[in-house]
Structure 1
Amino acid sequence: MRELISFKSKSNLKLNYLIDGILIQSFLQILLIAFTHKGLFPDLNSPYYQGIVGIAIIVNLFVFILVLLNIKRLKTAAIQETMIAQQKKYLDNLGKLVETIQQQKHDFINHLQVIAGLTELNDVEELRKYVKEITAEVKPQFQFISLKRLELKSLLFVKAGIAKDKNIDFNIQVSDDFEDFPLCKIEGVNLLGNLINNAFTAALKDSKPKVFVHLDKEEKDGKNFYIIKVQNNGTTIPQNLGDKIFAKGYSTNNTDGLGLYIVKSIVDKYNGEISYTSSEENGTVFTIRIPT
């Protein structure tokens, strides 16, 4: 499996250097131990051997310092790559929002023209049916109107449009306005967006895809928590995977494997909790608790 991993990114290149440094340091330590073994080198006190030991110690310390520096750089590179991935997903969502708004604009104009035509024809019964159909169509897109976080409202608006295009039964229940939700805008979009994306992918494996999103706030043990639940039918998660699904690069859908890793990283940053259940009967449910 490891032979299939590409090492073209900067962080992976630094990882290779780091591994090389650790191997070199380990080799030098073995040499140093060997040189200080009197059984192997009886003339250990001679200036020649003392000089070799001194050089080995200096080189070993130098390599050790390089290893520490590379560990720090590798950590920084990994954080930067994660941030870039988060920003890319955020920009993708913004682009989809613009496209959805443009599409909705044209749809509303068409609906208004039809309503105007039916009014002119004085066809009250057909007008009533048409308005009822429009109401049923746009209702899912306005179930989250009470949200005070504009980025979350925009995200759900986009996802509702995508769900409509893909014939996904998408329902949203908002029980709190999320005004004091502690995550920044990009983090909030990435967390909820990745969960919904995964839910869409899994649900589409079912002949009647369904996705349900619930945003709430609850009190537990004297503390307040924001609750995000995303439920879907379709593909389930094998029980033996456990927390492996949150590992960076791990995927069961041939994707980049960053979605749940990013979600878990954000949850951990805010000392939150993430859990999931998955079964054929109830589908897959991801539950996130973020302390206020």
Structure 2
Amino acid sequence: MDVMPLIPFLGVSVPESLVLYYMVLALTKKKESPFVVIILSLLTSIFSFSIRTMPVRFGIHTISQVVLMTIFLNLFFRLPWHTSAVVMVLSSVFLGLAEGISVPLLAWVFKLKLEQIISDPLLRILFTLPHLVLLSVLAYIIGKRGWRLPLISEKLGIKNESDKRTTKQSIRQNCLLTLCLVQALMLVLLNLSFHAYNTGVYPSFTLKTLIEVGSIVLLVSVLATIFVSGYLLKVIEHDAKLETEIHYARERHNLHLRLQVERHDFYNHLTAIYGYIKACHFDQAETYIANLYHTVSSIGSLLKIEPPDLAAIISTKYEEAKINGIKFFWYVKIHDGSLPLSSEDLTHLTGNLLDNALDAVKSNGSPRIDLVLICNKLGLELKVSNNGSPIPQNVRQNIFVAGYTTKSIKQHSGLGLYIIKQIIDRYDGQLELREPDDYSGVEFVIYIPWNK
């Protein structure tokens, strides 16, 4: 273990601890007394020095120091445990990355060997100052600008103007930035470990220690990648659901607007019918009444559908199909108006399947879509069929994977069927992909049982 005299050690460790604590304060937008921060930094450094004097494995003092600082953040800064851990790890990543780059770079500039710097307390203090100054400036900028990762804001429940302006793109960029920082730190740590082993600057750093450090680096890199990837997937899925909710809200508004228009035009319809009859154009009057009856009955049928969200989505897709010359037949029967799943999830299922069907039949000469939704005591069955091109067998196994799409990436996120699969699994439902009975094409059949 690398052991320095107490005073020189404190000359390195106390400033590092100060910078780490102030970085945490900047990231969490907290304010604490400088006296408290200095005392905590001194206690942290003394604790780290005590660990270094013990016959423990290389790197244990660093891990112990991070754990102690996390505890201090919870006790004295009143941060939740998970938030303390996140900001402490992130601050340590900044420090480790800055030190791992700055010290070797300065050693190369001044033509000194790392072992000379490490073995000389004065040089060690001097070569530590540049990256600490850099991190201090970074902490000041973070605090001044109010920068922080969405994950930290989410844990703290921070709601300010800058957070409101946070976009999906910035969230993804921050996640990727965090991953890159962690991976870069791991590479720097691995490089320094190889150097320490080759030069023998740390007598306790043996081949076994090198293997252990390498294993830890690999493990941290893998876990960081898995964590960030999972978090990104949740963010993207949440964004897709939010966009769908907004889209469905607009469709409900359009249905209400359509009803208002029909009510407003009712007098005009009566006037037109009266004019045809007055002029003895009975055939035209009959045709006009038939068309009007078809429109009103269609709206009336939709209004009988419960929940209203489902009526709105069917109405909108029906109008979209009508505009594009697509035959759209639908049948909905819900016993007692009760459902084995939430109305939001049912709307997601129906809307996504209809969107896929509308896309699938665009290239067909006589496009057709059928929707059948029946809910009774046995459960809910939803069937959406279309006469578009059948889905190849080699594609079927991938269509429910997040991000997979055979369409333009700019226009489709590849999350529609993934969200459908997630909803079905949540309710222990079943999904079947087959060919319709009446024509060639694709039919999705979803069954959702009642919860026992």
For normalisation by structure 2, the TM-score amounts to 0.50
Q: How has the CA–CA distance of structure 1 residues 124 and 64 changed in structure 2, closer, same or farther, with 3 Å as cutoff?
A: closer
Question: Structure 1 unaligned runs (5+)?
Answer: 1-6
Alignment counterpart, residue 97 of structure 1, candidates 229, 246, 255: 255
2:386 matched residue in structure 1: 232
Alignment partner of 1:197 is 2:352: no
C-alpha separation between the residues in 1 aligned to 2:393 and 2:211?
55
The Cα RMSD (Å) is 4.3
Identical-residue share of aligned pairs (%): 25
Any conservation in 1 of the 2:248–2:313 contact (CA below 8 Å)? no
1:265 matched residue in structure 2: 422
Question: Structure 2 unaligned runs (5+)?
Answer: 1-167
Any conservation in 1 of the 2:360–2:386 contact (CA below 8 Å)? yes
Alignment partner of 1:241 is 2:395: yes
Kindly provide the CA deviation profile for residues 123-162 of structure 1, in whole angstroms up to 9, marking residues without a partner as x: 4443223222333455544444543312112222222222
1:256 matched residue in structure 2: 413
Q: How has the CA–CA distance of structure 1 residues 74 and 155 changed in structure 2, closer, same or farther, with 3 Å as cutoff?
A: closer
For normalisation by structure 1, the TM-score amounts to 0.72
Any conservation in 2 of the 1:272–1:288 contact (CA below 8 Å)? yes
Q: How has the CA–CA distance of structure 1 residues 233 and 28 changed in structure 2, closer, same or farther, with 3 Å as cutoff?
A: same
Any conservation in 2 of the 1:237–1:284 contact (CA below 8 Å)? yes
Any conservation in 1 of the 2:248–2:312 contact (CA below 8 Å)? no
C-alpha separation between the residues in 2 aligned to 1:291 and 1:111?
46
Q: How has the CA–CA distance of structure 1 residues 178 and 62 changed in structure 2, closer, same or farther, with 3 Å as cutoff?
A: same
Moved more, 55-64 or 138-147: 55-64
Q: Which amino acid letter does the alignment assign opposite residue 444 of structure 2? A: F
2:445 matched residue in structure 1: 287
Q: How has the CA–CA distance of structure 1 residues 178 and 234 changed in structure 2, closer, same or farther, with 3 Å as cutoff?
A: farther
Query: Which has more strand, going by share of residues?
Result: 1
Any conservation in 2 of the 1:237–1:278 contact (CA below 8 Å)? no
Any conservation in 1 of the 2:424–2:430 contact (CA below 8 Å)? yes
2:171 matched residue in structure 1: 10
Any conservation in 2 of the 1:228–1:288 contact (CA below 8 Å)? yes
Any conservation in 1 of the 2:339–2:380 contact (CA below 8 Å)? yes
C-alpha separation between the residues in 1 aligned to 2:308 and 2:178?
44
Kindly provide the CA deviation profile for residues 89-131 of structure 1, in whole angstroms up to 9, marking residues without a partner as x: 3334335435544554566554333213223335444322322
Q: SS in structure 2 opposite 1:187?
A: helix
Q: SS in structure 2 opposite 1:282?
A: coil
Q: Which amino acid letter does the alignment assign opposite residue 271 of structure 1? A: D
Shift of 1:212: 1.0
C-alpha separation between the residues in 2 aligned to 1:278 and 1:119?
49
Q: SS in structure 2 opposite 1:94?
A: helix
Any conservation in 1 of the 2:313–2:347 contact (CA below 8 Å)? yes
Q: SS in structure 2 opposite 1:246?
A: coil
Moved more, 112-121 or 277-286: 277-286
Q: How has the CA–CA distance of structure 1 residues 244 and 71 changed in structure 2, closer, same or farther, with 3 Å as cutoff?
A: closer
Q: SS in structure 2 opposite 1:211?
A: strand
C-alpha separation between the residues in 1 aligned to 2:387 and 2:267?
34
Any conservation in 1 of the 2:333–2:374 contact (CA below 8 Å)? yes
Moved more, 19-28 or 110-119: 19-28
Q: Which amino acid letter does the alignment assign opposite residue 247 of structure 1? A: V
Q: How has the CA–CA distance of structure 1 residues 291 and 30 changed in structure 2, closer, same or farther, with 3 Å as cutoff?
A: farther
Q: SS in structure 2 opposite 1:190?
A: helix
Any conservation in 1 of the 2:390–2:440 contact (CA below 8 Å)? no
1:150 matched residue in structure 2: 308
